[in-house]
DNA sequence: AAGTGGTCTAGACCACCTT
DNA sequence: AGGTGGTCTAGACCACTTA
């Protein structure tokens, strides 16, 4: 007896115990697995396999996949199948250009509109980042870095812009384990965060925009150099 | 006999004559109708009705709707239904902020990288815009304006950024019939296009970025003032 | 020519709302 | 309770790829 039959025989708790439907649950699960790197870029998603894994029929899976394609996470080839969208060099560059434009804009907006107490809160977040850096606490570094940028970006309340940025970070998230530990990268991030804070305290929107943009551009350059290095000597495990 | 039965009885031209599947066709059709303003913001989409209208069963419609939700065009409430996403004031502002950031960035990039012959082509596009303006040829004005901006934005080849901008223009597209004909708006657009061209010819990326951003911001301000005006005296038909 | 796997339909099921 | 309309499953169908 397979998992599905067992589930169906087990009375009737399968369909949404709460307000959740199956296709939403499947979409959430696949989204997490893609962003978390469990499902690798380029990997094919066979619908019947996903359906079996989630204990549902194929149709809710199809709907989840359609949603994820709309979000840009996978690509569906009609009558062929679906696979996790790869991140080639071009797409990485484009994503970071978008991030450059948006994070520059949002940093400028923060410089114009943030209160002094907002800036103090941001300083506290950066203090946590500095401490994680000093302790070489890698998960802590990533969390503190995310918190720092999220505080700036979310300040104006533009949820749509944040969604775009989050999606773009999600893209390169699976790469962070590679490039994220280079000492030069780490120290550039620390310095630029402090430069940003200075610009905010000086109330200098143009400087904040320039630093915010350059911050993202620097990340792209670091990633590309790590990729190129790995390409030239693929022996390194 | 209903339309669906008739279609199925008619031999076998229903399923994709080419490489097109039904859910793709339905998604494209709904997307066009939403962006084109045929389906109004806030309107509910009953799945069985859409299915009947497109001559398919309800399931391809569901998949199309999931995709459109992923793209942000509609919102789906599980077990309730789907409706075209409304554009409230907040969302309009947020969309234009994103456009401001991206179009500024792309104008800067164009100023840095475009060849002289590219700029000459852009001048020709603006000449067409000017002539449409002088002739008060409203469809021509809109087409020429789109062509002008598309030429700048597409120059760097960042398809993802263009997709975001197109989506954001699609949002306010249905409003253009209202605000688009105000003489002051029209003349501002003409002047700023020429300012952009000047900045490109001077090879001044920073000026191009500033003008490109202000161009979008000006559009937002015009739209908001028209909306506020309509709000304060709703008698105008 | 068979196999694999995506697509579509019909109908059952069930959540939510109305009476 | 009944109605409306969204959701799910099973199986048929078909496009595309193997021999």
Chain B closest-CA separation from residue A138 CA (Å): 31
Task: Quote the pLDDT of residue A214.
Answer: 97
Given this model, what pLDDT does residue A1 score? 37
Cβ distance A69 to B70 less than 8 Å, yes or no, reads: yes
A residues 105..124 contacting B (CB < 8 A)? 105-106, 109
Residue of B160, B164, B170, B172 to mutate, testing the A interface (most A Cβ within 10 Å of its Cβ): B160
CA distance A222 to A135: 22
Considering all nucleic acid strands, name the nucleotide whose C1' atom is nearest to the C-alpha of residue A14: D8
On whether the CB atoms of residues B165 and B153 are closer than 8 A, the answer is: yes
Distance A46 CA to C6 C1' (A): 9
- Residues of chain A contacting B72 with CB distance shorter than 8 Å: 70, 160
What is the structure's pLDDT at B8? 39
Helix runs in A36-137, H state only? 47-54, 58-70, 89-113, 116-134
- List the A80 CA – C3 C1' distance (angstroms): 15
For residues A9 and A65, the model is more confident at A65
Instruction: Quick: pLDDT tens for A158-177.
Output: 999 999 998 877 677 666 66
Provide the pLDDT for residue B233. Answer: 62
Out of A90-104, A113-127, A188-202, B221-235, least confident range:
B221-235
Longest Cα pair distance anywhere in chain A, in angstroms? Answer: 69
**What pLDDT does A4 receive?**
40
Question: Does B21 contact strand D, using a CB cutoff of 7 Å?
Answer: no
- A residues 181-210 lying closer than 8 A (beta carbon) to B: none
Per the CB < 8 Å rule, is A98 touching B71?
Answer: no
Stated pTM of the model: 0.83
Q: How far is the alpha carbon of A212 from chain B, nearest alpha carbon, in Å?
A: 12
Closest to A50 in 3D by CA, of A71, A26, A68: A26
- Quote the pLDDT of residue B2: 39
With a cut of 80, say whether residue A23 has pLDDT above it: yes
Question: What's the pLDDT score for residue B14?
Answer: 39
* Amino acid A41: pLDDT: 87
Among B157, B144, B156, which residue's Cα sits nearest to residue B114? B156
Residue-wise over A99-120: b if at least 16 C-beta within 10 A, else e? bbbbbbbbbbbbbeebeeeebe
Q: Share the mean pLDDT of chain A.
A: 86
Supply the pLDDT for residue B179. 62
- Which residue has 């950031």 as its token pair? B101
Could you tell me the sign of the dihedral formed by the alpha carbons of B118, B123, B128, B132, in that order? positive
The low-confidence residues of chain B, meaning pLDDT below 70, are: 1-19, 170, 173-181, 231, 233-237
Nearest Cβ partner for B98 among A24, A71, A160: A160
Q: Looking at residue B1, what DSSP letter applies?
A: -
Mean local confidence (pLDDT), A16-20: 52
Using a CB-CB cut-off of 8 Å, the residues of chain A touching B60 are none
């Amino acid at each position: 007896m397979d998992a599905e039959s067992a589930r169906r025989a087990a009375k009737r708790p399968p369909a949404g115990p709460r307000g959740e439907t199956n296709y939403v649950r499947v979409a959430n699960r696949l989204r997490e697995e893609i962003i978390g790197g469990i499902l690798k870029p380029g990997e094919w998603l066979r619908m019947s396999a996903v359906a079996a894994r989630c204990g549902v029929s194929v149709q809710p899976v199809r709907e989840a996949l359609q949603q994820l394609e709309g979000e840009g996470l996978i690509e569906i080839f009609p009558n062929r199948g679906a696979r996790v969208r790869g991140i080639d060099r071009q797409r990485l560059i484009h994503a970071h250009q978008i991030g450059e434009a948006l994070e520059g804009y949002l940093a400028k907006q923060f410089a114009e509109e943030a209160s002094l107490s907002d800036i103090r809160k941001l300083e506290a977040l950066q203090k946590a980042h500095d401490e994680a850096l000093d302790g070489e606490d890698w998960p802590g570094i990533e969390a503190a870095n995310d918190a720092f940028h999220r505080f700036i970006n979310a300040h104006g309340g533009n949820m749509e812009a944040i969604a775009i940025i989050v999606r773009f970070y999600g893209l390169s998230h699976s790469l962070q384990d590679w490039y994220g530990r280079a000492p030069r990268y780490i120290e550039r991030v620390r310095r630029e965060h402090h430069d940003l804070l200075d610009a905010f305290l000086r109330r200098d929107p143009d400087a904040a925009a320039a630093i915010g943009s350059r911050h993202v551009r620097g990340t792209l350059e670091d990633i590309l150099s790590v990729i190129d290095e790995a390409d030239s000597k693929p022996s390194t495990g």
